[in-house]
Structure 1
Amino acid sequence: MKKILFLGGSKQQIPAIQYAKDNGYYSILCDYLSDNPGQFVADKFYCVSTTDMEAILKVAKENSIDGIVAYASDPAALTAAYVGNKLGLPSNPYKSVEILSKKDLFREFLKEHNFNCPLAKSFKSYDEAVKNLDGFKLPIMIKPIDSSGSKGVSRIEYLDSFESAFNLAMDNSREKTVIVEEFIKRSHKEMIGGDAFVVNGIVEFFGLLNSHRDFSINEFVPIGTSYPVFLDDDKIEAVKSTVQKVIDILEIKNGALNLELMFDEDDKLYIVEIGPRNGGNMIPDLIKLSTGVNMIAATVESSLGHTDFNLKKNRKDGYYSTYVIHSKESGILKNIVFSEEIQKNILSKVMYKNPLDDIERFEGANRALGIIFLKYDSIEEEKYKMDNMNEFIRIEVE
């Protein structure tokens, strides 16, 4: 029986573990949280941090694993590459995964290889940063180089906000490094998001989606994705060719990619991020629902060196989305009320919080209350309801 080591056992990560179990693979899980739900699905569990590379390597050796999966986890992707490279398992080059995992290295890579890239500099202290802002035009973005879920990300219009934004980013950085970059204004409302999948160095599948934001709370934290993508064919082709060029240079051979891109007001394409792993917020589940392509299966099978999975779209176009249920205020969750108008669109719900649980204002993906999957009759209905979801879902907090 093939053994697969999974890094992370949150609710969002369970589908990958469940796929392994359903297909006759032995699943070993590592997670630093002792109460993670994935341990009840996996065959064996170790309470070990997925960012502790040597500890994970030890677990991998002890269990003679055949594959390693960092499903929907930025921090764990680098660990998976490290262990995979050390043990000769199917994996991508550690250095390439590191470039994709850290915003400062990725911006340097983009600039070096003549991709569109905003002016960007990284700093390890506020004093160093504040002395080196002369070349920047406001507004600017301030981000941790290594956080996931858009935690610690700010845009500022005036320098008197710089210190607080810098400190927020620093607090959310594991490496205590912050990147400052010029803000690029996009020509479209939604970010271009979704996942892609690489087989033998070729991006064989693009599951492009619209990435929505709640501008009333935090414009940088995704609150849902929708299908089909709101792009014309020329722009879709530009996205595909640009991503493939990155994959060629970095010599990424196999596995999932999480994409975030945008066109500026001059229609120049900017890559915001290419994560070396499946997307969070259940993006692979939405892609399967809308296209029929099972990227969860592809990810698990690819970890074992298999390439005989189907990445061909096999479903007629429909109108689907996910929506991240979130709160504008912190407190105790009293109730979540869905209006009749949205209830008819809901296909399923995955809830993280229950009534009487403590909840926090939505400032990062880790503060989500749950995710719902929806289907619509038209693209107009999809756009309208995704833009106005706060009118259809009421969060009662006390």
Structure 2
Amino acid sequence: MKKILMLGGSHFQVPAIIYAKKAGYHVITADYLPDNPGHKYADEYHNVSTIDEKKVLQLAEKLRIDGIVSYASDPGAPSAAYVAEKLSLPGNPYESVRILQRKDLFRGFLKSNDFMVPETASFRDLNEAKEFAASRLEQKAIVVKPADSSGSKGVTKLLTIDDFDHSFQNALNYSIAKIVVVEDFIEKAIYEMDGDGFVWNGKLVFRCFGNQHNDLECNPYVPMGISFPYIQEKAIQQKAHEIIDSILTKLNMKVGGLNIEYLTDKDGNIYILEIGPRSGGNLIPEVIKLSTGVDLIAYSIEGAMGKDCTDLRMTETNGFYSSYILHAKRDGKVKSINIDAEIKHKIVQQNIFTKAGDAVKKFDGSNNTLGTFILKFENQDEMIYYLDKMTDYISVELF
């Protein structure tokens, strides 16, 4: 029986672990959180940090694995690429994955290859960062973010220099590399695009773009839901596809799921914000499967195990689907989970991770997810209406 090492075991990784088991693989999970829900579905679990590349390699060598994947997890992606490269397993070039996973390296790559990129710089030192920030704030708002955090943690938009010290330290706390990126804020024309794709032999062979919805009261950069299809006109989406394809080709990417984010400004310029070298969280692959019939979880696992993925093709969406992330607007204790009767019949799937009496944190990062929903709507207008107001229909009441 072939062995697959899966880095992580969070709620968002459970579907991939279950798929690998059903596909007949011996599934090994690894991370530093033994209570993560995914581990109980695996054949074996090892307490090894997914960001410790050398220890993950030692584990992979000891277990004689046939494939490795960091599904829906940014921090583990470089380790997966490192192991795949060292053991000649299916995967992507380690340096290319590092570039995609690190915002500072990715911005540098985009700039040096003449792609659109906001004015940006990366720092370890507060004073140097503050000087740059002050110069940019004379012209426009800025965004301060960790170079390599996951789940949109540690990101702040600033209009003045007043709160810069706190924002810098907050970003630094979430950065594994202890690097903070400071860049111009881009005023988007429509919803930020958030979706998934799949790379095969250097080409973006499939992608499904969606609308990112945010709870502005919690954190305007943490998705509370993604709805499909994307409302942007098809010609602009195709242009974005071609830009992403060019980036993947230049980086010599080979195989695997991708989580992609881009935005378009009021002048029509397309800024590729992220191409995460792994499938997306927030149930994006699951919603895409309902929307298109394409099973990105299957392709991610089978691609990592060396299967041929040449049959994967672009497929248009059919219907109107979304994910929704249950969350709290502040710290507190759960009194109840409220689901309005008006929305109940639109729920296709739900999974609630919390109960009355539990202490919960404000939704300032995906790590504070309290549950997940998939919903189906009659049309685009209805979908957009409900997603933008979903906290009125599905909410957490606190003591």
TM-score greater than 0.5 by the shorter chain = yes
- Counterpart in 2 of 1:121? 121
SS of 1:155's equivalent in the other structure is strand
**What is the identity, as a one-letter code, of the residue corresponding to 2:49?**
S
Contact 1:199-1:307 within 8 A present in 2 as well: no
In structure 2, runs of 5+ residues without a counterpart are none
Letter in 2 for 1:215: L
Aligned to 1:4: 4
1: CA distance, partners of 2:367 / 2:346: 25
Q: Which residue of 2 aligns with 1:210?
A: 211
Matching residue within 170, 173, 183 for 2:172: 170
Q: 1:64–1:132: structure 2 CA closer, same or farther, 3 Å change rule?
A: same
Structure 2 Cα separation of the partners of residues 148 and 265 of structure 1: 28
The 2-side partners of 1:392 and 1:67 are apart by 42
Helix, strand or coil at the partner of 1:131: helix
AA of the residue aligned to 2:339: F
Query: RMSD between aligned alpha carbons?
Result: 1.3
Match of 2:305 in 1: 304
Give the SS at the match of 1:142.
strand
Query: CA 1:309–1:371 in structure 2 vs 1: closer, same or farther (change >3 Å)?
Result: farther
- Report matched runs for 1:264-303 at 5 Å: 264-303=265-304
After the TM superposition, which of the residue ranges 293-302 and 216-225 deviates more from structure 2? 216-225
CA distance in 2, matches of 1:322, 1:212: 10
Hey, what does 1:335 align to over in structure 2? 336
Who is 2:87 aligned against?
Answer: 87
SS across alignment from 1:81: helix
- Give TM-score scaled by structure 1 length: 0.97
**Match for 1:87: what amino acid?**
L
Three-state SS of the structure 1 residue aligned to 2:226 is strand
**SS of the residue aligned with 1:267?**
coil
Please tell me the residue identity of whatever aligns with 1:64.
R
Is the CA contact 1:195–1:278 (under 8 Å) kept in the aligned structure 2?
A: yes
Provide the C-alpha distance between the structure 2 equivalents of 1:288 and 1:394, rounded to a whole number of angstroms.
26
Structure 1 segments of 4 or more deviating over 4 A? 312-316
Deviations 1:336-374 (A, max 9, x none): 110000111111112222222110111111111111000
CA distance in 1, matches of 2:266, 2:8: 39
Q: Which residue in the other structure is 1:263 paired with?
A: 264
- How many residues matched? 397
Match of 1:16 in 2: 16
Q: How does 1:65-144 map to 2 (within 5 A)?
A: 65-133=65-133, 135-136=135-136, 137-144=139-146
Contact 1:52/1:79, CA 8 A, preserved across alignment? yes
**CA displacement 1:53-73 (0-9 Å, x = unmatched):** 111111100111010010000
**Contact map agreement 1:201 1:248 (CA 8 A) in 2:** yes
Q: Counterparts in 2 of 1:223-234, with a 5 A limit?
A: 223-234=224-235
Alpha-carbon distance in structure 1 between the residues aligned to 2:286 and 2:107:
30
| Separation (CA, whole Å) in 1 of partners of 2:91 and 2:69 | 9
The TM-score, its normalising length taken from structure 2, stands at: 0.97
Task: Specify the code of the residue in structure 2 equivalent to 1:171.
Answer: N
| Contact 2:326–2:395 (CA under 8 A) maintained in structure 1 | no
Q: Residue 316 of structure 1: CA displacement? A: 6.4
Aligned pair in 2 of structure 1 residues 132, 313: CA closer, same or farther (>3 Å)? Answer: closer
Alignment partners' CA distance in 1, 2:173 and 2:59? 30
Distance between the aligned counterparts of 1:72 and 1:250, measured in 2? 20
* Aligned-partner Cα distance in 2 for 1:273–1:303: 22
Q: What code does the residue aligned with 1:173 have?
A: S
Paired AA for residue 138 in structure 1: K
* Counterpart residue number, 2:370: 369
Q: How far has the Cα of 1:138 moved from its partner?
A: 2.8
* Deviation, structure 1 residue 128: 2.3
1:313: Cα distance to partner?
A: 6.3
Question: For 1:65 and 1:127, how far apart are their aligned partners in 2?
Answer: 46
Q: Equivalent residue for 1:45?
A: 45
Q: CA deviation at 1:308?
A: 4.3
1:132 and 1:386 map into 2 onto residues whose CA distance is 37
The 8 Å contact of residues 166 and 178 in structure 1, kept in 2 or not, is answered as yes
Distance 1:71 1:350 in 2: 19
